[in-house]
Amino acid sequence: KQEVTQIPAALSVPEGENLVLNCSFTDSAIYNLQWFRQDPGKGLTSLLLIQSSQREQTSGRLNASLDKSSGRSTLYIAASQPGDSATYLCAVKPDRQLTFGSGTQLTVLP
Amino acid sequence: NAGVMQNPRHLVRRRGQEARLRCSPMKGHSHVYWYRQLPEEGLKFMVYLQKENIIDESGMPKERFSAEFPKEGPSILRIQQVVRGDSAAYFCASSPPGVGVGYTFGSGTRLTVV
């Protein structure tokens, strides 16, 4: 059974810092990995999708990497801003549906 | 191009009543997924549907819960005789066909059972 773990569970940083969020999964047989952002009381916004054959994806200040063999992904956020404060969720697709981690709650202090 | 539309956004039901949650997938998406997020917990898969077919319902509670995705109209998640433990945020996602595609989520329906 696929399990997804995200570390740390919560992170607080001053504005302007670069930061890394970590995601690990137990079964490397995945089709893709997707990073989402969830604001309090809101839905999920897709940030980046990495196919199993890819090593990384970039969008603006965000960069996600995937090392399938070791079961790890990282989300790098450059020059963090208060507007980046949210919960970041990692999800892998081993089969027909996504399996989610519990998320990292990020607070960027002005 | 509207995203995944869920309604209602908030739903309050008394114990024993029925709750109906609706989801209209993105245009061009034929696959619908329902997830539940309990307070202080992660997102858990419930059911995966295509038009007129339930593909995977391994995450659905065995009783009181049902889902459908008819040929015409939105997908419906139905909860009969709701209990307090059903209070949660219910999210719908859609995707086009294909194993490597990403999911688009709706804003969710927050169900409160009083």
CB-CB under 8 Å, B45 with A44: no
CA gap A78, A45 in Å, rounded = 19
* A89-104: pLDDT as tens digits: 999 988 778 999 999 9
3-state helix, strand, coil in chain B (%, to 5): 5, 50, 50
Which residue of B42, B100, B102 is in closest CB contact with A100? B42
Show pLDDT as tens, one digit a residue, over chain B (114 residues). Answer: 579 999 999 999 999 999 999 999 999 899 999 999 988 788 999 999 999 999 999 999 999 999 999 999 999 999 999 999 999 999 999 999 887 788 999 999 999 999
Share above pLDDT 70 across residues of chain A, in percent, rounded to a whole number: 100
Which residue of B44, B48, B102 is in closest CB contact with A46? B102
Mutation test of the interface with chain A: which of B26, B43, B90, choosing the one with the most A Cβ atoms within 10 A? B43
Q: What is the pLDDT of residue A62?
A: 98
Closest listed residue to residue B81, CA positions, set B113, B38, B45, B44: B113
Which residue of B6, B99, B103 is in closest CB contact with A98? B103
Q: What is the pLDDT of residue A58?
A: 97
CA gap A26, A22 in Å, rounded = 14
Which residue of B42, B56, B100 is in closest CB contact with A97? B56
CB-CB under 8 Å, B99 with A93: yes
Q: What is the pLDDT of residue B101?
A: 84
The answer to whether the bond into A8 is cis (omega within 30° of 0) is yes
Contacts of A89 (CB under 8 A, 6+ apart): A6, A35, A36, A37, A38, A44, A100, A101, A103, B42, B43
Q: Please report the DSSP string for B45-85 in residue order.
A: EEEEEETTEEEE-TTS-SSSEEEE--SSS-EEEEE-S--GG
Q: Which residues of A touch B99 (CB under 8 A)?
A: 31, 93
Q: Which residues of A touch B102 (CB under 8 A)?
A: 32, 34, 46, 49
Amino acid at B36: R
Average pLDDT on A15-36 reads 95
Across the A:B interface, residue pairs with CB atoms under 8 Å apart total 57
Q: What is the pLDDT of residue B97?
A: 86
* A44-54: pLDDT as tens digits: 999 999 999 99
Structure token pair of residue A58: 């970039």
User: Of residues A14 and B28, which shows the higher confidence score?
Assistant: A14
Q: What is the pLDDT of residue B28?
A: 87
Rounded to a whole number, what is the distance in angstroms from the first to the last CA of chain A? 41
Contacts of B82 (CB under 8 A, 6+ apart): B13, B14, B15, B16, B17, B18, B19, B64, B111, B113
Closest listed residue to residue B7, CA positions, set B21, B26, B17, B18: B21
Decide if A73 contacts A55 (C-beta within 8 A).
no
